[in-house]
Amino acid sequence: MTPAARINAAIEVLQDIVERRRPAADALKDWGLSRRFAGSKDRAAVASLIYDALRRKASSAYAMASEEPRALVLGMLRGLRGLARDEIAALCSGENHAPAPLSADETALLTAFSDDDAPGWVRADVPEWLWPSFERAFGAMAVEEGQALAARAPVDLRVNRLKASREAVAKDLAHLQPEESAWSPDALRFQPGHDGRGPSLQTEPGFFAGAFEIQDEGSQLVTLLAGARPGDTVIDLCAGAGGKTLALAALMANRGNLYATDLDSRRLAPLHDRLARSGAAIVDIRIPRSRGHEPLADVAGQADLVLVDAPCTGSGTWRRNPDAKWRVRPGALAERVKDQAEVLARAARLVKPGGRIAYVTCSMLPEENDEAIRAFLGRHSGFSTVAPIDVLAGAESDFSLLARFATEFGLQLSPRRTGTDGFYLACLRRGD
């Protein structure tokens, strides 16, 4: 496919996404199955165009005076990819599967392209209904935080301490030009290429050997700061596919007891193979037999640490899932807040006196972060927060600079602040 044909295909698929309100991945899969002539590079290029258009949906729609898929793609080419008006016009010839020629209005809008006078939520590319939450969280820097969240994300890996060192993995992957990340001692970073994609790390021999896992540096940081130690009894209460479970096992040096569970047992399925690859030998996967069944009843009140990777809107991962921010609705936020209260109450029953709950979200929204902790403290008088400065002081490395990002009860990481996905961590201690 020519570059122009790829742009036309992106407009077509984006139309399907908008009309049917479906995930971009599903629409792209269907498009690929119906376009067998499109090679892997074509599919990757079309996907990159779509995701980039979704990253800048609000600002492009404002500058192009339209929310139509064509306007969003043209606006993205101008605002994000930096193509000049004439370069865009050359791609829109209407010939050989290229988009139709630019109209007079489109030409004028691309010439004067700007969102400088737009409302904050537009310049930040954040859904309008969520903008008050963003402003509460970030104040005068809310627009900059949103813009950073609308950028492309790098690919991070976590070196598995049970099998390798960062130096050894960096040497093995030298052909992919890894960078040592700024915060996590176990992280290596790979910048996205021109097409927005990172390297195919999961095809590398080291991945199959269990030397590393793909994990955002922010996810690594909050897991590390949770405070798991060798010999502890630790519960990963919302383990999902097990990314944090594997990191916990490595931090515990394979000593102690580590339980992994999830209310949705289907999410745990990939963890079995990942554990075998990683060499983690202390993990006990507990699968609920039915709704309301507590698979950890036999260890209630015994955990040194309960990690609650709470269900949330995922707003902190919008760099990687830009379509998700336009599909989330107020009702979904309210439902997640309810889920967070329930899982925190469950954690309270599992942690021992003097033990710790580490509450984690991949969210940028106060409703799911500090406000969730405030509500928990109001319901559970036997718990108190661990001051962020004390959380940082107890870590194995010097993370004192992260104290700048403390909130009332925890720490808020973000693409602009820490170069990571948006993660929140608050630690709670049960009274003796």
Instruction: Tell me whether residue 116 is annotated as binding.
Output: no
Q: Is residue 362 annotated as a catalytic residue, yes or no? A: yes
- For 239-259, letters b (16+ CB in 10 Å) and e give bbebbbbbbbbbbbebebbbb
CB-CB contact of 273 with 208 (8 Å): no
Strand 187-190 versus strand 212-214 pairing type: unpaired
Instruction: Tell me whether residue 284 is annotated as binding.
Output: no
Residues contacting residue 186 through CB under 8 Å, at least 6 positions apart: 158, 159, 161, 166, 220, 247, 250
Residue whose token pair is 């690919």: 155
**What SS3 state is found at 159?**
strand
| 351 phi/psi in degrees, rounded to 5 | -80, 145
Catalytic residue (choose from 92, 238, 312, 362) = 362
| 269 phi/psi in degrees, rounded to 5 | -55, -45
DSSP one-letter string for 304-372? EEEEEE-----GGGTTT-TTHHHH--HHHHHHHHHHHHHHHHHHHHHEEEEEEEEEEES---GGGTHHH
Residues within the annotated binding site for S-adenosyl-L-methionine?
262, 309
What residues are annotated to the active site? Answer: 362
Residues within the annotated binding site?
262, 309
